[in-house]
């Protein structure tokens, strides 16, 4: 349920809000599903993500960004909006190579002031590339 409307928020509504940010547009994000405290986002491959041209793997900052924004936006079904990050932890499990990425997030604990959410970043063939957990400020803005 969206705190703003009292009604379930759709993937299209979340995507419209998410893509207001030029950086999110550049990442090529597509919200594929939104549920109660859950979200799935696809990130479209960009050659600019590559940090090592010889080996072709993606910069860890891109993966960390996707962990952060996916965990953050998992909270959108509760808040109706993106929320500020307070703390973030990212674990890298294997190199991300060329290909679109699937980002899955879910709320661990929703609170009136502070909330916790986690995310997993998966390769096109479903391998876990990175995961993480974030703390977010969910207090209503004044």
Regions in the chain scoring below 70 on pLDDT:
1-7
What's the angle, vertex CA 6, arms to CA 79 and CA 116, rounded to 5? Answer: 25
Burial 58-81 (b: 16+ CB within 10 A, else e): beeebbbbbbbbbbbbbbbbbbbb
**What is the per-residue pLDDT for 56?**
92
**What is the per-residue pLDDT for 4?**
45
CA dihedral 22, 137, 36, 121 (to 10 degrees): 60
**What is the per-residue pLDDT for 7?**
64
Q: Which CATH class for the 11-137 domain?
A: alpha beta
Domain ranges across the chain: 11-137
**What is the per-residue pLDDT for 81?**
86
Note the pLDDT tens digit of each residue in 14-43: 999 999 999 999 999 999 999 999 999 999
The CA distance from 2 to 85, in Å, is 19
**What is the per-residue pLDDT for 6?**
52
**What is the per-residue pLDDT for 5?**
45
């Amino acid at each position: 349920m969206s705190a703003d409307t009292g009604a379930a928020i759709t993937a299209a509504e979340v995507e419209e809000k998410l893509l207001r940010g030029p950086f999110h547009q550049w990442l090529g994000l597509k919200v594929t599903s939104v549920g109660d405290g859950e979200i799935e986002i696809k990130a479209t491959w960009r050659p600019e993500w590559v940090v090592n041209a010889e080996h072709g793997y993606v910069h860890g900052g891109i993966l960390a960004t996707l962990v952060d924004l996916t965990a953050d936006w998992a909270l959108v079904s509760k808040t109706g909006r993106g929320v500020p990050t307070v703390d973030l932890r990212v674990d890298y499990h294997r190199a991300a190579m060329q290909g679109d990425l699937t980002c899955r997030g879910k709320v661990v604990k929703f609170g009136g002031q502070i909330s916790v959410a986690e995310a997993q970043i998966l390769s096109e063939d479903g391998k876990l590339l990175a995961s993480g957990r974030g703390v977010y400020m969910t207090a209503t803005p004044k």
